[in-house]
Each structure stands twice: as C-alpha cells, then as structure tokens.
Chains A and B, each alone.
Chain A
C-alpha cells in the first residue's frame, strides 16, 4: 500500500512527513514523497528567455527531497518524486491516482492566523476535489510513533454509513481501538434527551455495520478488536465540543466529506472546517462513496 505525501521543504512539509510515517507504521505502507514544482506557462511571456532555470530548480528540488527522505526513519520505505504542474493540488491528486495511493498526506498551512489547522490554498483545493482520502497534519505535528486510536466523526447526513464502514474496517486492519464521536448534538445545545438519541443512533449504526462486516470476513473475529466506544460531543459551539472531548496524542480523526461533494470527491463542509480548527490531532477526510482499497 502506498501513501502519497505532498512534500514542501518547510514546516508544513515536515508535518506531513511525520504524519505519513505515523500512519505507515501501523499499516506496512510505503511513502511516496511528491514535490510539485511549477510548470512555467509559455504565455507568461518571460523575457529574456532563460532556459537553464529549470536545471537549477530541479537541482534544488532534488536537495529538498533528500532532506525530506532524511526525515523518514529507516523502518519505513520512502521514494521521492519531482512532479511538474500548474496547480499543486491537481498535480498531487494526479500523482495519488496514478500511484493508486490509499491516502494523500499533506500538512496544513503554516502561516495561518488560526491555531493548529488553517487551511492553505493547496489543502483547501485538495479537500474540495480529491478522490483519495486526504490526511491533514496539524501545524507542528512531530509525532512519528504509530497511531494509537481511531476516532470517527459521525453524523446523520448521507454517506455516514459508508464512512462508518471505512472506519470499522480500518480500525480492524490496524488493530486500533475505535471511538465513534457523534456530532449530532453539536448545534442543538446540551439537552440530555438529544445526547441519548445520538448515542442510540450511533450504536444502531455500529451494530448494523459490525454484523455485515462479520459476514463479509471470517477473520474479523469479535475478540480481536475491543468494543467500539461511543461518545457524544457536546458544547455551545462545534469548536467547544471538539475541545471538550479528550484526545489521545496518537489519535486520528476520520471524517466524511460533505454531502455537497460530487460522487467520490472530498468536500469539506462548514462543520468539518470548524472541527478542523479546534482539533488537536490529525484528521483524514474521506471522500463520499469511497470504498477502501484492499487490506
């Protein structure tokens, strides 16, 4: 299994490499560091023409990638690629599709005004159009130890079922404890009735998914994975609710893209975007109707 890492030679790129290493260690995946350098439009009318600039840029890109590879510990396989393209986001998507990547890992912008996550233009276009799940490393992500717990953001919107499938299978494959975070009650205040309803709903879904997963795979013995935990996030705002939840250092949040998304493309809805800003751990945005590629 391959993970494509959108690498840039700055803090953002380093965050991405760290997260990719952490993810790969659970999953025996190899990394493909992709550095995108811009493709000059001949219509930009650069004068006088300077043909050799490319060589200098390529040389620099090569050195940057060597630095990037040096961040990867010896137990993880990594390759480096230089790609040319007008749009960094589109070039990364093309690379991920071409390499049949299971996930595209990028760092959130490092010059944002908001804490932790602030979506840079590249990340933002990826989240709006990637057919591959996008893993976002928060600003300053240093951890390279394996992921310790998988959380799944869970709502009532269409697509929740598929996302839950992805989460259950993913947790099973990685041998990680799964936690369902119900986001139902977020905007409705903290009435206990709603929290209970949300809990019930999540449990029902989980049961449904769990039984079908067992049918599908004989190896998925109940004993292997501990019973998923279900929590209901509460707070006056989404940000507060996310902050009130307790997050493990090695945790990662799986979240579905909005129902506005085109078939098989991620689209970060406003709710997800707000979660992102408050979240202290990395998150993976799964495109709608995404089915995981083989274990």
Chain B
C-alpha cells in the first residue's frame, strides 16, 4: 500500500491558473454579437424609446447620439479598472479601493439595485410580449389584454422571474449558436420594422407622416435642461452593456485588437439601428399625443407593442418573438450579475457571508441568486401596485441608478489612478480626463433627474404622498442601501474598519 501524502495538488493542471472563460475562443464577429446581445436593442428600444420621446420629443435622435458620450467616457475608465483590478465585485471593489468602504459599499449597492430593477423590467416586458404574441398567434386581441389584469400580470411576471432564477441557479448558459440567432433575429426584425415604417410614409399610409428635419439631430434644441438630463440618463440605459466589449480580454482570439474593434463595430451597429428605428418611428407616428403618436402616454411604456401591428401588419408577431426572446435571454444572463456582486460582497464580509455561498451541485452562487430573484420580484410587485405605469417608472428609475453607480465607478478610476494620471498622455486621457468628465456628467444627470423627479407629475405621473414615484423608487432604493449599510456597520464592523487588509490586492 502506498502512503504518499494525500493532499498533492494536480501536477498536470495547476488548478488555480484555469480561468473561467475559454481563452482565445471569441473572434471579432463573436465579440460584436456578445456586445449587441448585452445591449439587447429590441428590448431597450421598446422600453426606452417612449419615455425618451416624452422628455425630448423629436430631438430623440440627438439625445441618442449625445447619450453615448458619457457612456464612452465612463467605459474607458471602467476598462482601466478592470485591467488593473479584475474582481467579481467590480464597482463595489473598485470604489472601496479608491474611496474606502462606505462609498464602495454604496457603489456595490447601486450596481446591484440597477441590475435588480432591470431584471424586474425585463420580466415585465417579456410578459407583455408573451401575451401579445399569444394574441397574435390565436388572432384574438383579448389574450393580449390579459397582461393588463393586475393579479394575472404579477403572477406571470413572478413565474418568468422564477424560471430565469432557476435556470441561472442550475448554471445553464446561452450558447454561441443561440446567441448568434437571437442577435441576428433582433437586428433583422428591427430593420424590417424601420423599412416597413418608411414605406408606409412613402405610400402615404403612415399614421402621422412627419418629415425628417435636421433640427432632430440638434441636442441644444431640447427645451430645458431637465428634459436634456432625463433624456441622457435614459439613453445611458440604451447603451448599458456596450462596455462589455471593452472589458473582453483573454477570451478573444486577438486580445490586442479584437476588443477595440469589436467595441467600435458594436457601437456603429447599435447607433445605426437606433437611428434608423428612431427616425422610422418618428416619421411614421409623429410625436402627437393621440392615437399611435409616439407622444401618447398610452404608447410610451412599450412602443413596439403598439406600433408593430400597424407598421408590420401580420409580421408583427416577429417583433413580439424578437423582444420576447431577447428579453428572456437577457433576463437569464442578467441574473448572474447581481448574484456575483452579492457573492463578492458576502465573500469580503461586507454583507452576510451567506451571500457568499456557492451551490456544491451547480457551482453557482446559491443564496445570492435566490436573493436577487426575491428582490426583483418584490420590486416589481411594489412598483406594479403603486404605479400607473410600472414599466415607464422603472426604466426612469433605472436610468438614475445607472448614472449613480457609473458615476461613482468613473470617479473611483480617477482617484485610484491619481498618482499615474500625468505619467503619460495615454494615462492622462484614459485614467484621468475621460472618466473624470464622464463621471461628472453622469453624477450631474443623476442629481438633476433626482431633483426633478420629486415632482408628482414626473415620469408616468404616479406619486406617493405628493412626491413623484420615480424619486421614491430611485432615492428610496439608495436610502434603503444607506440603512442596510449602517445595519451592516453595526453587525460586522470589521469590513468597514479594515477592508484593504482583508481583500489585499
């Protein structure tokens, strides 16, 4: 019998060097597909186009273009941080490193809150289009109306959230083939929608044919700074996800060139599709507040649910299918993110270590995934019950939340690299100027939107106790974060006292 020591590590495969992503497996097209799928254009357009039109009217194209600038600036800083400190906590860890545990904790909270809010919105959009698709399949509009019955709507949404949670818990993933098909299908259907809308305009069969004017592209023509800020924070949401292309690295076939090129191509694809669809929508429907007009508050929560039928005729079912499939896929993959951030926070003992548990069977964050599902479900139930238009208000609150945690992350980048900021032109631009300008813009947008949203007429016009619901949702979530943080400080002060020694980067 051999009695060699038992705890020998595998010689053939040094366990710790194995990375979770297959190195060199993603080419340029693959990286673009990943970028587009993270943005999920069909879903973001249907969710954000209406609310943005309500703020900036025909200047929608201008705001969509301008909105990309702070996203780009912040993403450049995000990439620097990701290269210097790759960590599961992302914003949480980076902001903790730069500004200490308190702001770091809130950065992490902002990221988790944003992803939780988008989960509940994704599920709600998926449910709307699920019923709409049933109506289209059976040619029975009554089925589409089912999603307006509150208890049924809430029940179906909870089922969708539960299913996505279960899939994520089981560690099942969207494969390459599925993702290619989903992305191609989305782009195809959005293109189809735009072409149909323009041909209606050309044939004189459009609802409210409106001639495209250069003024639409002028961001300075937006009436007020309030509208401008609201529009920009919404368009941050439509580009949210694009920065994934910049942070790709070893998994690409050519880490030197692929991420940069993929980011450029992705943004071109996205801007072209956004511009085309935005112009098509405005030309076809105008911004009138009645009927199919894009200014009609009835239409704004989910613009394609209303417009796809008149524009695409019987093929509108493809739009439902595209949005349903893309939001369902995003729902599942988005679950991974808050779960992992909570896992990291649990791991560093910033919250209960229970959140750091990993399922032995499926090797996925167990407690954190279920917690994310419960939070998303609770957020949806509350919003849906209180708000007249839950989708609209959640998207506006989401825009605020993204501005908040992105702003913190960008400034964390500036502060963290402050010593190296003037060491080279490259460092000055990527580690200092870009994130500084981006972060400041986003935090200004955040503060402005927060102040404006106190008005009970803001967003969909829902209010709680005389204060706008968007403010209550947005600031409520942030205040809740402060409360939880203070409780955590009482319960486990170690994290707040010596984070830097604990995590030891």
Contact = CB atoms under 8 A, between A and B. Distances in A.
Interface of A: 8-10, 12-13, 28, 30, 32, 37-58, 60-62, 64, 66, 69, 72, 74-84, 98
B93 interface: yes
Given A38-B173, A43-B174, A47-B241, 13 more contacts: A10-B360, A10-B361, A43-B37, A45-B34, A45-B38, A45-B174, A45-B179, A49-B247, A49-B248, A52-B87, A57-B20, A61-B15, A62-B16
Contacts of A57: 20, 358, 363
B441 interface: no
Contact of A80 (B9, B240, B360): B9
B8 interface: yes
Contacts of B347: 56
A46 B2 contact: no
Which 8 A/B pairs are nearest by Cβ-Cβ distance? A51-B86, A52-B87, A9-B360, A81-B10, A82-B15, A53-B88, A44-B173, A52-B88
B343 A40 contact: no
B340 A43 contact: no
B205 to A, nearest CB: 38
B347 to A, nearest CB: 5
A40 B244 CA distance: 15
Contacts of A83: 13, 18
B173 A52 contact: no
B95 to A, nearest CB: 13
B6 interface: yes
B360 A75 contact: no
A98 to B, nearest CB: 7
A7 to B, nearest CB: 10
B15 A81 contact: yes
Nearest to A81: B10
Contact of A77 (B2, B174, B178, B241): B2
Contacts of B3: 74-75, 77
B334 interface: yes
Most buried by B among A45, A69, A79: A45
Contacts of A55: 88
A47 B91 CA distance: 12
Contacts of A37: 20, 363
24 contacts: A8-B361, A9-B360, A28-B1, A39-B20, A40-B20, A41-B174, A42-B25, A42-B34, A42-B251, A43-B178, A45-B37, A47-B241, A50-B341, A51-B88, A52-B87, A53-B88, A54-B20, A56-B88, A57-B358, A69-B7, A72-B6, A74-B6, A79-B9, A80-B15
A100 to B, nearest CB: 12
Q: Interface SS of chain A: helix, strand, loop or mixed?
A: mixed
Contact of A56 (B175, B241, B343): B343
Interface in B104-128: 111, 115
B251 A64 contact: no
A98 B11 CA distance: 13
B394 interface: no
A44 B336 contact: yes
B13 A75 contact: no
A94 to B, nearest CB: 11
B452 to A, nearest CB: 27
B12 interface: yes
A79 B87 CA distance: 29
B244 A49 contact: yes
Contacts of B25: 42
B333 interface: yes
B186 interface: no
Contacts of A44: 173-174, 179, 333, 336
B216 to A, nearest CB: 30
Contacts of B4: 30, 77
A81 B329 CA distance: 33
Contacts of B243: 48
Interface in B1-50: 1-4, 6-10, 12-13, 15-16, 18-22, 25-26, 30, 33-34, 37-38
Contacts of A77: 2-4, 6
Interface string B301-334: 0000000000000000000000000000110011
